[in-house]
RNA sequence: GGGGUCGUAGUUAAGUUGGUUAUAACGCCUGCCUGUCACGCAGGAGGCCGCGAGUUCGAGUCUCGUCGACCCCGCCA
């Protein structure tokens, strides 16, 4: 028999199609075999249509329909028929009609699936092992489809703003700065390696030198670092670069882009400009550079007041360059266990403990109030705007530890007290980052952003004389406390770039070897330029309210960076290694 | 590199102080059933309790190791 040709999909048949003879194709979503009449929910990408097999219509077809099982792939030809009033299914858009099947073709059989597609709590292990089946599930299909639509929105928006999508190489030169590189051995250059791009940073800058003015790319990037719920070794960036621009323009264009993406994925209109906050303000008020501003709960500085008290611990912390900060958990009703739990959770950030004060109608309660004078307590409570029922939670010690633990505490308290509106979309620009930070390991300066970021200082000497005070023309985009992008205005002047390298203790020779082609390009009429990169996966994760970035990636890796389906990475033939002049130090037989 | 949670039929889970034949739901198989859409009814099959040691008369249960998944710290310009 000649194969039937699909005339309609499973989501489109309506009463307007009554009496038409149609052919639908898809998967058997479920079967309800009554012995006499058999009902099949036939599913394809577009929906579900009920197919009816009745011995009165075609005895032989009905006979064969008994053999159908879940996920068989079939073609069903028959007449679109109205359902009687009492058999209409209001849950289905196609629920007022059904196809009375006359001709059935079984296009493929299916083994019993390792899990049921309508099961909502399959372990991720199982989902990843059979990802192609996981992706068959409606929830996953919706995510993948929205991902496509978001990508199209991005291309449409940027095209309308005169951007050109230009591809950059995947096989690149390795540079030791930044994240660990994924390396690819070169067969024709024995002993040499390419690196996969951590981002197309230098190439997009070169495209500005080439005069393309407005570049974008939806591009895979690779970083060989440990994974997290929001971090994959390969991920997708929306990479953007603009010539003759400034930070404001980059932010404006990005805001327009984000609003379009939100409209596409989530359906909502975001009004007004995104908020902006300086890096210093973010650190001081929220303890981190990506604060979740869906709720207030600011961190207050008590170093002055508490550091000058008679409480020896606070006193010595303040004298040795430490800080004392606190948040006010309003009307918290914490039990002693709650406080202990929070204290334990802070330990991972290096906090040695968490002092607290309970505010009651009768006065303050805490193991530490006896160390403070009434005046000091009054001053602290005034700063904290304490009211009966509140809990004041302290962090004291090294600034980095206090900030990290109070930033965590702020989120933990926000969640416990239900201060967070789960439906809010709070976009925030964080600006005025320091140019450099000290590497805790070796004490050397390193770029907070990357070494091509333009400093905002007027005097280039500041870069080497007081580098830690220099602010950069960089900006991060934060959504609900998640960093979804970042960028900067770049250095387009060779002298300035050399000064930055000097501040980073990258010598002329080293700079020449690693970035010589960029330095050279800057000498040939490089226009002022800047841009940013947005984390496409993270944006989708946030907008689709997924727990993990893996849920918006078709074929993600596990935390150990392996693919449970294909079992990558794997050993390779010894022959392959020899061809590449490689020998593994691992205790494996690569035969 | 470190901390934590978890691993029991195909799936998701229960499993008492260590004690008879390891439960349940869904799925699967067989039969019956002409209006179901979470179809129904009757019956049935299905287990390396992740893996390996140890303790014990006896281990799904306790101990150690190991493998894997997840969350976090470090790391991620």
Shortest-distance nucleotide from A35 CA to C1': B33
pLDDT tens sequence across A514-529? 899 999 999 999 999 9
Using the C1' atom of nucleotide B2, identify the protein residue whose alpha carbon is closest.
A348
Straight-line distance from CA A232 to C1' B50, in Å? 26
Confidence of residue A591 (pLDDT cuts 50, 70, 90): very low
Q: Determine the pLDDT at residue A587.
A: 59
CB count in 10 Å sphere of residue A476: 21
Residue pointed to by tokens 């999909």: A9
> B44 C1' – A106 CA distance, angstroms?
28
Average pLDDT, rounded, for chain A: 94
CB A534 within 8 A of CB A477: yes
The architecture (CATH level 2) of A15-108 comes to: Beta Barrel (2.40)
Q: Which nucleotides of strand B are protein-proximal, with an atom < 7 A from a CB?
A: 1-2, 10-13, 26-29, 32-40, 68-77
Nearest nt to the CA of A451 via C1' is B77
| Topology annotation, domain A140-277+427-564 | BirA Bifunctional Protein; domain 2 (3.30.930)
- Cβ atoms of A351 and A401 within 8 Å: the answer is yes
d(CA A460, CA A439): 22
Closest nucleotide to A447's CA, by C1' atom?
B77
Nearest nucleotide (C1') to alpha carbon of A404: B73
Gap from A425 CA to B61 C1', in Å?
Answer: 47
Average pLDDT over residues A327-335: 94
Burial of residue A266, with CB atoms counted within 10 A of its CB: 0-12 exposed, 13-18 middle, 19 or more buried: middle
In the predicted structure, residue A249 carries a pLDDT above the cut 70: yes
- State the nucleotide closest to A436 in CA–C1' terms: B77
CATH number of A295-416: 3.30.1360.30
Residue A41 bridge partners (DSSP):
A30, A50
Delimit the domains of chain A by residue range: 15-108, 140-277+427-564, 295-416
A28 neighbors A71 (Cβ within 8 angstroms): yes
Residue A578 pLDDT more than 60? yes
pLDDT above 70 coverage of chain A, percent: 99
Report the alpha-carbon angle A359-A361-A362, nearest 5. Answer: 90
pLDDT of residue A310: 83
Q: Are strands A391-397 and A356-360 parallel, antiparallel or unpaired?
A: antiparallel
Mean predicted confidence (pLDDT) in A200-211: 97
The pLDDT score that the predictor gives to residue A403 is 96
User: In which band, very low, low, confident or very high, does the pLDDT at A309 lie, cut at 50, 70 and 90?
Assistant: confident
Q: What average pLDDT does this structure show over A447-468?
A: 91
What is chain A's length?
591
Claim: this prediction has a pTM higher than 0.90: yes
Distance A64 CA to B32 C1' (A): 18
Flag whether pLDDT at A393 surpasses 90: yes
Supply the pLDDT for residue A588. 55
Quote the DSSP letter at residue A55. T
Q: Positive or negative, the Cα torsion across A545, A548, A551, A554? A: positive
pLDDT of residue A445: 87
Q: At residue A407, does pLDDT exceed 50?
A: yes
CA A126 to C1' B57, in angstroms, rounded, equals 40
CA of A52 to C1' of B28 (A): 24
Q: CA(A109)–C1'(B21) in Å?
A: 38
Residue A590: the pLDDT is 46
User: CB neighbours of A459 closer than 8 A, spacing ≥ 6?
Assistant: none
* pLDDT given for residue A308 in this prediction: 87
Cα distances (Å, whole numbers) of residue A254 to A215, A238, A290, A396: 13, 10, 17, 38
* Distance of alpha carbon A311 from alpha carbon A322, whole angstroms: 14
Across the range A223-236, mean pLDDT stands at 97
Q: Which nucleotide C1' is nearest A81 CA?
A: B35
**pLDDT at residue A401, rounded to an integer:** 95
Strand partners, A44: A47
pLDDT at position A444: 82
For residues A64-73, average pLDDT: 96
Tens of pLDDT, residue by residue over A118-140, are 998 899 999 999 999 999 999 99
Banded pLDDT at A394 (limits 50, 70, 90): very high
Mean pLDDT of the region A434-441: 85
Q: How far is the CA of A269 from the C1' of B77 (A)?
A: 34
What residue is closest to B68 (Cα–C1')?
A125
Residue nearest to nucleotide B37 (CA to C1'): A89
**Which nucleotide, over all strands, has the C1' atom closest to the CA of A345?**
B72
For residue A458, the model assigns a pLDDT of 81
Q: Which residue is nearest to the C1' sugar atom of B77, using CA?
A: A178
């Amino acid at each position: 028999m000649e194969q039937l040709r699909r005339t309609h999909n499973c989501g489109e048949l309506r009463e307007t199609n009554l009496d038409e003879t149609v052919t639908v194709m898809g998967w058997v979503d479920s079967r309800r075999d009554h012995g006499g009449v058999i009902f099949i929910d036939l599913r394809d990408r577009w929906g579900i249509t009920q197919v009816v097999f009745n011995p009165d219509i075609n005895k032989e077809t009905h006979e064969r329909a008994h053999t159908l099982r879940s996920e068989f792939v079939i073609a069903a030809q028959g007449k679109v028929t109205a359902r009687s009033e009492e058999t209409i299914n209001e849950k289905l858009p196609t629920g007022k009609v059904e196809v009375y099947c006359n001709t059935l073709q079984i296009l493929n059989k299916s083994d019993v699936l390792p899990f049921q597609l309508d099961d909502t709590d399959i372990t991720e292990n199982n989902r990843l092992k059979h990802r192609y089946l996981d992706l068959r599930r409606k929830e996953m299909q919706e995510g993948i489809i929205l991902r496509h639509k978001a990508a199209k929105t991005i291309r449409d928006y940027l095209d309308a703003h005169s951007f050109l999508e230009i591809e950059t190489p995947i096989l690149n030169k390795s540079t030791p700065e930044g994240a660990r590189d994924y390396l690819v051995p070169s067969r024709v250059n024995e002993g040499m390696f390419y690196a996969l791009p951590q981002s197309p940073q230098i190439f997009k800058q070169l495209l500005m030198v080439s005069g393309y003015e407005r570049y974008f790319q939806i591009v895979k990037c690779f970083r060989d670092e440990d994974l997290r719920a929001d971090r994959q070794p390969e991920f997708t960036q929306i990479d953007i670069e603009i010539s003759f621009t400034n930070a404001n323009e980059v932010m404006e264009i990005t805001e327009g882009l984000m609003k379009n993406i939100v409209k596409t994925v989530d359906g909502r209109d975001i009004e007004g400009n995104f908020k902006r906050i300086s890096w210093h303000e973010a650190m001081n008020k929220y303890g981190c550079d990506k604060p979740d501003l869906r709720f207030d709960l600011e961190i207050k500085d008590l170093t002055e007041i508490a550091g000058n008290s008679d409480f020896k611990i606070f006193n010595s912390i303040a004298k040795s360059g430490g800080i004392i900060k606190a948040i006010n958990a309003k009307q918290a009703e914490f039990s002693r266990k709650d406080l202990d739990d929070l204290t334990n959770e802070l330990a991972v950030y290096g906090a040695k403990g968490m002092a607290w004060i309970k505010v009651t109608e009768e006065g303050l309660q805490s193991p530490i109030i006896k160390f403070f004078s009434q005046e000091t307590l009054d001053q602290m409570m005034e700063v904290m705007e304490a009211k009966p029922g509140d809990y004041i939670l302290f962090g004291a010690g090294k600034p980095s530890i206090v900030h990290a633990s109070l930033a965590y505490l702020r989120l933990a308290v926000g969640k416990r007290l239900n201060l967070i509106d789960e439906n809010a979309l709070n976009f925030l620009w964080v600006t005025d980052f320091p140019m450099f930070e000290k590497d805790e390991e070796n004490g050397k300066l390193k770029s907070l952003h990357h070494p091509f970021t333009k400093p905002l200082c007027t005097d280039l000497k500041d870069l080497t004389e007081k580098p830690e005070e220099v602010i950069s023309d960089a900006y991060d985009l934060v959504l609900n406390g998640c960093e979804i992008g970042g960028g900067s205005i770049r250095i387009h002047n060779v002298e300035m770039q050399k000064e930055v390298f000097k501040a980073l203790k990258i010598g002329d020779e080293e700079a020449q070897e690693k970035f010589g082609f960029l330095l050279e390009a800057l000498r040939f009429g490089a226009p002022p330029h800047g841009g940013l990169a947005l984390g496409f996966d993270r944006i989708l994760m946030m907008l689709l309210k997924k727990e993990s970035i893996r849920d918006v990636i078709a074929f993600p890796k596990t935390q150990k960076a392996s693919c449970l389906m294909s079992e990558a990475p794997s050993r390779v033939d010894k022959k392959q290694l020899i061809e590449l002049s490689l020998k593994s130090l691992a205790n494996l037989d690569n035969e």
